[in-house]
Amino acid sequence: MTDKKERILDAALTLFAREGYAATPTSKIAKVAGVSEGLIFRHFENKQGLLDALMQKVELKLAGIYGPVLMETDPRLALKKCIELPFLVPESEFDFWRLQFMLKWQKEYNHPEKMQALIDKLTQVFRELDHENPEGEAMLVNLILEAVATSILKGNMSQDDEIRYFLLGKYGL
């Protein structure tokens, strides 16, 4: 991938994440990226294609993030890793995840099934830990994870660590 193509993607990600996809003109992307307006359309079919290119990475990133959890065989460790997930996202990736979360409010980008693997793993974990309602517990943890991630990405959470250790304590970890 050329230097300029990458600069376009970077600019688009930042702008889409901060101002919204529809509210971001391609001309602004070009300016921020320091390239000509036309170049965007040489590298990407159209504005939508630029968004698609950005969204494409999500599968990969999700796999990279969930992988270690899914592969963990010790149930308590798996649960711990799972709960810590949202706290470990580096700030450099906030824009990327903000964009994902924003777009999930649009039907065409809302794919709750992408969480299924994690929920299944959590269900198994809670089963192994002899919880009464493993499905419910898994769903609950999943909900909490989404809420924590949302809160962090919005910059609402001043006391990251408190919540983190509180949650870990709550689950006896």
Partner DNA sequence: TATGAATGAGTATTCATTCAT
Partner DNA sequence: GATGAATGAATACTCATTCAT
- Find how far residue 104's CA is from the centre of its chain: 11
| Ramachandran angles phi, psi of 157, nearest 5° | -95, 105
Considering CB distances under 5 to 8 angstroms, the limit depending on partner class, which of a second copy, DNA, none binds residue 3? DNA
In the complex, least distance from residue 60 CB atom to DNA, rounded to whole angstroms: 22
In the complex, least distance from residue 89 CB atom to a second copy, rounded to whole angstroms: 16
Nearest Cα residue to 167 out of 69, 70, 87, 107: 87
Candidate residues 9, 15, 17, 35; the one interacting with DNA per rule CB under 7 A: 35
In the complex, least distance from residue 137 CB atom to a second copy, rounded to whole angstroms: 8
CA distances from 32 to 11, 23, 29, 52, 101 (A): 6, 15, 5, 19, 23
Considering CB distances under 5 to 8 angstroms, the limit depending on partner class, which of a second copy, DNA, none binds residue 150? a second copy
In the complex, least distance from residue 124 CB atom to a second copy, rounded to whole angstroms: 18
- Alpha-carbon span 86 to 152, nearest angstrom: 8
**Positions in the binding site for DNA (CB under 7 A):** 2-5, 24-28, 35-43, 45-48
